[in-house]
Amino acid sequence: MKVISIFLALINFLMGVLLILSCISANESFAWVAWKTGAGILAVAFGILTFKDSAQPVSQRKMILYGLLLVILGVSVFAYGIHWSIISGDAKHTVLIVGGSFFLHGFTSVLGGTNE
């Protein structure tokens, strides 16, 4: 689980950076930009924390808290992707993939996060 978590940390770190960069020149509502920026910051922060935990153990409370936040974010992004697909009739596969990746990263970190 730890190897999967580290691999997903890299992918989510890159997705988080892309989410933040996509907000720079977007003509979207403030709430949507704030939501995307917050999700990107959470993905980047937890990616860095996962890499740091693989080199030097981090507080398990902090890892579990960030893992649960990422699971919640992943499920909500995935649900939003399904909602968007039903309402518009156009499946947004990127939203579903990002939500699934966030969920799996948080889930594997919570399950495989014990360092002995």
Instruction: Give the tens place of pLDDT for each residue, 46-78.
Output: 888 887 877 777 778 877 888 888 888 888 888
Whether residue 31 contacts residue 52, with contact meaning beta carbons closer than 8 Å, is answered with no
Label residue 41 by pLDDT band (50, 70, 90).
confident
Amino acid at the residue 66: Y
Res 114 pLDDT > 60: no
Domain ranges of the chain: 2-111
* This prediction's pTM: 0.74
Res 106 pLDDT > 60: yes
Res 91 pLDDT > 80: no
Tokens linked to 78: 């995935």
